[in-house]
Amino acid sequence: MNAWLILPIAWPLAAGALGLALSGSNTAQRLIAVIGAVGQLVAAVVLLLTVNAQGTQVLHMGSWPAPFGISLVADHFASFVLVAGSLAGCASVIFAALTVGRQRLTHGYFVLTNVLLAAVAGAFLTGDLFNLYVWFEVMLIASFVLLAMGPYPRQAAGATNYVALNLVASATFLVGAGVAYALTGTLNFADLALRLPLVESRPLVLILAALLIAAFASKAAAYPLSAWLPSSYHTPAPDVSALFAGLLTKVGVYALARSVTLFFPEDALVRNVVLGLAGLTMLVGVFGALAQFNMRRLLSFHIASQVGYMLMGLGLLTPLALAGTTFYMAQHMITKTALFLVAGVVERRTGTGYLKRLGGLYRTNLALTVVFALAALSLAGIPPFAGFVAKFTLVRAGTAVESWVIVGISIVVSLLTLMSMVKIWNEAFWKDRPEGEVEHDAARMHALPRSVPRWVVILPAGTLALASVAMGFAAGPLMEYAIAAGEELADRSVYIEAVLGEDAWADLETMTVEAMEASR
């Protein structure tokens, strides 16, 4: 039994339940928030080290052998993105603990964050298609409430778009899960991977692929299914955006990566569809970002754009490309959250996120400036930071298989990304602040609690930005880990044998025959 597998899920879940029980005390709420997030991070790191030392870890819940119960699986890919996600989540939650006001606190804000963290970990670790659906549901409801909870009228519109489109995606996923079960009689990832090749009808398998890709591409905010993201992420308080920015779409990418590599690894059509989505998503997202003047909305468009890069590796589907996707996801979670946290600090300080009304931050706030600069450069893929390592890997993988179109798009988008980062920099940091641009209402609404020192609020963002820098400088061991992840993803027998045992293929035959007989 490997308890470290359940802890990233169970620990924050328990913290959330406890928070619900202790809803009377605001201090307890803040404390439980941090305990839940930090605990998850610790568990995730231990899990990563265990995977590094011993290979794929599997936990059969309820001790029911796979494929009959639900199995949790941590391979290199899962544990790597889990650690990055926990780190990003941890920073956002700490930022929220410093800044969230009493109203949201008493209404269970941190119950929701804890549940969200647990659900994300659940999605990363589960080895079961329906269980994944459950974690998607948990994530959706928790994020919806976080999104809608708050005083701004715009939140209602944002939350409506968010929940409506995500429900369509969830319904699509559910139909997909049903189709998967109807085709193979199983829901376990490894078992599905084993049995799908036995399905003779290619259209049926492709129907499953179409449904899962539509569902997960929508969760990942791939164009043309990305509309929910830029229309909602900038609407709630900044702490909520930061939490979402790092985590939610990456779960969609993760699910897509799992299903493509396990279920349809040899299908050129699937691969090309993913590549097409990747290119479109990168381009539309980055152009959308360039058109924005609201800092958080601009960054939101970039989330979609960068999901395109992650899909690029998935579409190329070589070990190196998949390593690129893995590394890109991890660094993106950290870097992106850092940028949203910077946006949060800016809004809390100045009362606005509109670039035209901002200015002068370079002169007045050097620490914030440095944090933004580091994260923005990393995001745009400037060396030697983490974003560059990720981009380099993907471009190299694309070059190796001579996929020139996607390589070209990724390079152009990289430049456009930088262009929009320069836009934020010039407007918010370099330019002088326009006279008389203080919105008193907004400033009051955003104002930081007086008890919190100014510099402390920058710490979460600063830590993440430094992590992003460190991921570039110390890319050696991390990339090695990502390469291991890519190789495992490219060779699904590793996953199958870890879950079902080395005799999986032999068992398949006998089990099927037995079941046939039993059903008669």
Residues 169-208 binding other proteins (CB under 8 A) are: 169, 172, 175, 179, 182-187, 195, 199, 201, 203-204, 206-207
Q: Which 300-319 residues touch other proteins, going by CB under 8 A?
A: 301
How far apart, in whole angstroms, are the C-alpha atoms of residue 386 and residue 383?
Answer: 8
Map residues 252-291 to x or -, x wherever contact with other proteins holds by CB under 8 A: -------------------------------xx--xxxxx
Contact partners, residue 26, CB within 8 Å, separation at least 6: 102, 105, 106
Number of residues that bind other proteins (CB under 8 A): 130
Q: In sequence order, what are the residues at sequence separation of 6 or more whose Cβ sits closer than 8 angstroms to the Cβ of residue 274?
A: 213, 256, 260, 311, 314, 315
168 binds other proteins (CB under 8 A): yes
- Asked if residue 221 lies in contact with residue 312, where contact means CB atoms within 8 angstroms, the answer is no
Q: Where are the alpha helices (DSSP H) in 185-318?
A: 189-195, 202-219, 238-263, 268-290, 295-316
How far is Cα 141 from Cα 129, in angstroms, rounded to an integer?
19
Site string for other proteins, 437-476 (x = CB under 8 A): --------------------------------------xx
Which of residues 290 and 490 has its CB atom nearest to other proteins in the complex?
A: 290
Question: Could you tell me which stretch among 149-157, 259-267, 328-336, 440-448 binds other proteins (CB under 8 A)?
Answer: 149-157
| Contacts with other proteins, 119-138, as mask; x by CB under 8 A | x--x---x---xx--xx-xx
Task: Using the minimum distance from each CB to other proteins, give the nearer residue, 88 or 138.
Answer: 138
358 binds other proteins (CB under 8 A): no
Nearer to other proteins, 230 or 460 (CB): 230
Give CA–CA dist 514/507, Å, rounded.
10
Write out the binding residues for other proteins, residues 24-53 only, by CB under 8 A.
none
For other proteins, the closer CB: 502 or 514: 514
Out of 144, 244, 263, 372, which residue is the one contacting other proteins (CB under 8 A)? 144
The distance in angstroms from the start CA to the end CA of the chain is 36
Rounded to a whole number of angstroms, the minimum distance from the CB of residue 5 to other proteins is: 9
506 binds other proteins (CB under 8 A): no
Cα 375 versus chain centre, distance: 17
79 near other proteins (CB under 8 A): no
Chain centroid to CA 71: how far?
Answer: 21
Comparing CA positions, the residue from 193, 59, 79, 216 lying closest to residue 139 is 216
Q: Kindly state the DSSP code that residue 188 receives in the 8-state scheme.
A: B
Q: In whole angstroms, how far apart are CA 398 and each of 72, 103, 381, 402, 455?
A: 32, 50, 16, 6, 42
CA angle, corner 318, sides to 314 and 321, nearest 5? 55
Q: Does 67 bind other proteins (CB under 8 A)?
A: yes
Question: Which span (27-35, 47-55, 240-248, 507-515) binds other proteins, by CB under 8 A?
Answer: 507-515
Ramachandran angles phi, psi of 343, nearest 5°: -60, -40
Q: Which is nearer to other proteins, 177 or 464 (CB)?
A: 177
Using CB under 8 A, which residues numbered 217 to 246 contact other proteins? Answer: 217-218, 223-225, 227-228, 230-231
* Alpha-carbon distance values, 297 to 264, 302, 360, 368 (Å): 35, 9, 21, 19
Q: Please state the closest distance from residue 410 (CB atom) to other proteins, in A.
A: 9
Give yes or no for a contact between 402 and 491, defined as CB atoms under 8 angstroms apart: no
User: Phi and psi (nearest 5°) for 126?
Assistant: -70, 150
Which residues in 316-355 contact other proteins (CB under 8 A)? 323
Beta bridge partners of 60: 71
Report the residue number, 135 or 340, with the smaller CB distance to other proteins.
135
Stretch that binds other proteins, among 54-62, 85-93, 336-344, 440-448 (CB under 8 A): 54-62
Q: Are 247 and 284 in contact (CB under 8 A)?
A: no
Among residues 91, 165, 329, 371, which is the contact residue for other proteins, using CB under 8 A? Answer: 165
What is the footprint of other proteins within residues 377-396 (CB under 8 A)?
A: 377, 382-384, 388-389, 392-393, 395-396
Residue 352 amino acid letter: T
Cβ 367 to other proteins, closest distance in Å? 13
Q: Does residue 99 bind other proteins (CB under 8 A)?
A: no
Site for other proteins in 482-501 (CB under 8 A): 482-483
Does 14 sit near other proteins (CB under 8 A)? yes
Q: From the list 38, 271, 430, 494, which residue makes contact with other proteins (rule: CB under 8 A)?
A: 430
Considering only the stretches 3-11, 38-46, 78-86, 438-446, report the one whose residues sit in contact with other proteins under the rule CB under 8 A: 3-11
Distance CA 158, CA 143 (A): 12
Indicate the residue type of 142. A
Token pair listed for 426: 């010039």
**Closest distance of CB 337 from other proteins, Å:** 22
Of 36-44, 342-350, 425-433, 440-448, the segment contacting other proteins by CB under 8 A is 425-433
